[in-house]
Structure 1
């Protein structure tokens, strides 16, 4: 299998895993405080990352890579989980999943700014059109779902796109699982303190579904998904493979309906289909990334 096909395959696996993140977070915040949830998932995932680093004797990151790892940590370990957990106190997971339609554009922008990729001009027309559809959908709802929830989701998308692009660049020289493991380990001291401080007084036992949600976002959303996702971005290019994120609303909406019994409206489905159509056009003009020939360490 060539690098491009391997990149798309790894990227698709990552998207499938991430598709369960928002529904799982929605379930988890029914039993856990959002700040505690953010700290707990990062702390537990950081401990697992430490086991992996020790077991496989992963090479320590170079000093010049530390700043990029901090950006990854702030984007995908702290920023996105916290902002989405806060947002899901105000909106349903089905509503929030539509905002995933902005992720390919955010990832592409940061892929250009931080990764040096150069898609063709037509790519931006399709990407902006897709993003406009998503934003237009939010406003068509009269923002009645929750203006605060929607703003939190927009912030989550921005920091996540930056974390994706930065991690993809690092993965080309470090490897996907090493990037997310070291980002988690860098975050571990702070997130452990956050977890302890946010621990509710008179801690009550959450329901089983909340524990399952916490387990999913810890193991899969914070760790396993990134192993495949960062490797996919590194092999296939951040701008091109990043477009796979537009499949995530389909999977996520299905999970929200099947597992949470949430209502998926015709408008949600229509805007998702329209956005995916735009991304299909964007993919055709993504071009070959200038950094695609960079060496990817074996994982």
Structure 2
């Protein structure tokens, strides 16, 4: 029997392709926390947070010039790009980096950031006009509840300062993801993140130079590799399939693929860093992973 045809079949196919692309972005992002920890072995946390955007901005400028495109987007879109920049260029790296610096483990941080899909879905409703079904919201709420219980339990019954910083990180990312995906409906994803990074250079370049001159730097292979990863992959290459996937599959729906990120990050934390975590961490990650199947069965 022939597969679905017509607008409905095309829409379903686009959603599936969008989900696959979004997952490729999640796979790239899942290594961000371990790479940040490695980078901070040799670089100041603020230098890692801002310097990664400078590295990504240089790569973005080279890509735009190679494609013979202007280095600046239309002026009318500058407010949107400023919003993306505030979220993913400055907000998420600074908040998450400080949380890790203040003692949050990679595994704990990964599970807390599992709330990000729910936050992204909320901003998709507010900013992008998406309207998921009630089943979708029920699955989001279940995942959010599981992570909240996990976080409070590990914090001895209350939220810690690193937890609050991680909440700031996930809200920042949700804003940047939603606005970037909204622009990707009319512009290739790589251009959206490229313009965002290039517009941020007047801030990231002098701040990085000042931090490099005033903070202690200890070069090592792991620190340099970690810095290169968060700059080239977490801050640039990962956003190319991620924004395209959100635009194709729906910001709220395709964004739920990020519920797999905690489990992926746990794998990296264990295999690359030898980090140990208890059964409650695995249970918290598995609980939100179950929500992926539910959200992906729902339709906008």
- What TM-score do the two structures reach when normalised by structure 1? 0.91
Q: CA deviation at 1:165?
A: 0.6
1:33 corresponds, among 44, 48, 62, to 44
SS at 2:155's partner residue?
Answer: coil
Per-residue displacement from partner, 1:138-197 (whole Å, max 9, x unpaired)? 111135998111111111000101100110000011110000000000111101121122
Moved more, 192-201 or 128-137: 192-201
Higher mean displacement: 27-36 or 51-60: 51-60
Are the structure 2 counterparts of residues 145 and 4 from structure 1 closer, same or farther at C-alpha, using a change threshold of 3 Å? same
- Aligned pair 1:80/2:92, yes or no? yes
The 1:135–1:251 alpha-carbon spacing in structure 2 relative to 1, beyond 3 Å, is: same
Structure-1 residue corresponding to 2:4: none
The one of 200, 203, 210 equivalent to 1:197 is 210
Aligned to 1:255: 268
CA RMSD of aligned residues (A): 1.7
Match of 2:292 in 1: 279
Structure 1: runs of 5+ lacking an equivalent:
289-299
Counterpart position of 2:258: 245
User: Is the deviation greater in 38-47 or in 135-144?
Assistant: 135-144
* 1:248-286 CA-partner distances (Å, limit 9, x unpaired): 11111000001001012211111111111123223333x
Quick one: distance in 2 between partners of 1:34 and 1:146? Answer: 22
Deviations 1:99-136 (A, max 9, x none): 12101101100111111100012221221121111011
Structure 2 runs not aligned, ≥5 long: 1-9
**CA 1:116 to 1:257, structure 2 compared with 1: closer, same or farther past 3 Å?**
same
The worse-fitting range, judged by mean Cα deviation, of 49-58 and 275-284 is 275-284
Aligned to 1:20: 31
Report if aligned partners of 1:38, 1:85 keep a CA contact under 8 Å in 2. yes
SS at 2:186 equivalent: helix
Q: Residues 77-112 of structure 1, C-alpha deviation per residue, up to 9 Å, x if partnerless? A: 111011111010121111100012101101100111
Contact 1:29 1:88 in 2 (8 A): no
Q: Are 1:26 and 1:92, in contact at CA under 8 Å, matched by a contact in 2?
A: no
How far apart are residue 9 of structure 1 and its match? 1.8
Q: Kindly tell me the number of residue pairs found equivalent between the two proteins.
A: 287
Displacement after TM superposition at 1:205 (Å): 2.8
**CA distance, structure 1, for counterparts of residue 251 and residue 82 of structure 2:** 19
1:209 aligned counterpart, secondary structure: helix
**2:43 partner SS:** coil
Which residue of 50, 57, 72 corresponds with 2:68?
57
- Larger displacement relative to structure 2 (194-203 or 212-221): 194-203
Whole-Å Cα distance in 2 between the matches of residues 87 and 185 of structure 1? 26
Runs of 4+ in 1 over 4 A off after TM superposition: 143-146
Instruction: Write the mapping of 1:123-134 to structure 2, written as runs, cut at 5 A.
Output: 123-134=136-147
Name the stretch that deviates more: 60-69 or 24-33.
60-69
Query: Would the aligned equivalents of 1:17 and 1:221 in 2 still touch at CA under 8 Å?
Result: yes
